[in-house]
Amino acid sequence: MKTPLTPLDLVRRGLKVYPDRVAVIQPGGRQFTYREWGGRIYRLARAVAEAGYAGAQVGVLSPNTHGGLLAYAGVPWAGAVLVPLNTRLSAEEYAFQLRHAEVRLLLVDESLEPRVRDVARDLGTEVWVLGEGEAGAAFEARLAAQDASPLPYAVADEDDTLTINFTSGTTSSPKGVMLTHRNSLLNATETIYSFKFDQDSVYLHTLPDFHANGWGGVWSGFGVGVTHVTLPAVRAAEAYAAIEQYGVTHLCAAPTVLSMLTDPATARPLSRPVRVVTAGSPPHARTIADMNALGFHVTQAYGLTETSPLITVAELSAAQEALPTAERAPLVARQGFEMLLAGEVEVLAEDLSPVPHDGQTLGEIMVRGNLVMKGYFRNPEATERALAGGWFHTGDVAVTHPDGRIEIRDRNKDVIISGGENISSVEIEGVLYAHPAVREAVVVAMPDPRWGEVPCAFVALHGGHAASPEDLTAHVRTRLAGFKVPKHYEFRDDLPKTASGKFQKFVLRAELWEGQTRLVN
């Protein structure tokens, strides 16, 4: 009687148990009951299969709209592999990801279609345009031509790839993380528990759904009858309006969104409590206090795309929840304990032995269990390195406190997390080296009050050449998304190196983070 574990089964349950409950609302647009949403899933699955893409890679490039959300169930329901794409990339970056993931069909929102039109044509990728306007009419007609009756999902093996999610990591080319049906079902299930979802919950999609499948939120809530409110653009006024109009009870967001919600110019006290899960960087005590004062209850989670993604949560006891904010905030700011189905999450020394639980001894966070990815798509070497010794190596340096809580103190890998986006320093360096005036370039994270961290470039120029920060910024913008452009430049005659010629990034980072107790933000 064994059947494959898949998050699509959560969706199946929701369609069966809550047919008349509202499933999806797009403010200012359409809304659907679970019965209507199921019909759209079945229609899309049949359309994908009829077009010959069952078993193929199918991309989705969309802000948080009902059309984009539909792809997370409808595409894999047909037996295809979904490839979510970041909405903030350049045409060159889209070309690499579509080519590397071997995407044959791309579902793209009408607002983003001009950005990938030429790329898709050059690659021979078919495009279906989503949207409420004229451009989306053909997609709606395609759905309308299909049968809306129930259709079993096409999942043969729970270890088959469900999604390929790109992460910047530490190399110049992003890696495609293969997450399986089993990975994603277990992650989605534990988020139902940790986020405290139930049939009375209303979930506002402030977190981009392409970020590791919305931390599982594109599937989890459907299993227990949650109403999903999609928010294409996250601005404070629209977020607060949706919270009040639709009775929002839950949202997920990077700390930058929390700062936006607590901005005195736009902040509004809530008429009912709202649970918030944040990840990407620890929320500051001031932000937590400001959120609490408005009626938000903040919990921090931690994870990586490679771990499906969430593996720890800053879980508090009832007594700890009752503490004054000044005492509670440091506990919320720690990464906390392993989540319900995360498996083993440990801080280990180089010999893979656990570090003492003294809050001082540094080690690397490592994971082994059912949430660890299947591997990197078409990159066996990187997969082998990431899973060396039977553990997934996160690259995050941390301590374990006497109560067992994990707290990140630094990073081994040269990734910058800015506003919830992973940015590869090596990727930026590669673009800087293409500038004719640049002799050496090193990019590291520097603290930023709004984004947590931003890229800072240390640059040495060729003799007799000149380049200003504006010149280099314009150069980088032609190759990379705007959020990857360095926000500050330091020009040096030479950059620090080891005896073997390797750049000493830690020396440059120390300059930028001087006086701070931790080297991540």
CB 46 within 8 A of CB 38: no
Q: What is the pLDDT of residue 502?
A: 61
The angle subtended at Cα 475 by Cα 470 and Cα 479, nearest 5°, is 140
Architecture of domain 422-512: 2-Layer Sandwich (3.30)
Neighbouring C-beta atoms of residue 6, cutoff 10 Å: 24
CB 109 within 8 A of CB 130: yes
- CB within 8 A of 194, min separation 6: which ones? 277, 299, 301, 310, 313, 315, 339, 340
Architecture of domain 33-156: 3-Layer(aba) Sandwich (3.40)
> What are the φ and ψ backbone dihedral angles of 487, each rounded to 5 degrees?
-90, -10
Q: What is the pLDDT of residue 498?
A: 61
pLDDT in tens, 220-237: 999 999 999 999 999 999
Instruction: Kindly list the distances between the CA atom of residue 402 and the CA atoms of 92, 285, 333, 360, 406, in Å, as whole numbers in the listed order.
Output: 48, 21, 16, 10, 10
What is the residue extent of each domain of the chain? 33-156, 422-512
pLDDT in tens, 348-387: 999 999 999 999 898 999 999 999 999 999 999 999 999 9
Strand 57-61 to strand 103-109: parallel, antiparallel, or no bridges (unpaired)? parallel
Alpha carbon distance 236, 306 (integer Å): 31
Alpha carbon distance 203, 239 (integer Å): 12
Torsion 129-131-134-139 (CA) sign: positive
DSSP state of 73: H
H-helix segments, 276-401: 285-294, 318-321, 325-333, 380-386
pLDDT in tens, 165-188: 998 654 457 899 999 999 999 999
pLDDT in tens, 418-442: 988 888 887 898 899 889 999 889 9
CA dihedral 462, 468, 470, 473 (to 10 degrees): 30
Q: Over 80: is that where the pLDDT of 412 sits?
A: no
pLDDT in tens, 97-156: 999 999 999 999 999 999 999 999 999 999 999 999 899 999 999 999 999 999 999 999
pLDDT in tens, 253-303: 987 788 889 888 889 999 999 999 998 766 767 778 889 999 999 999 999
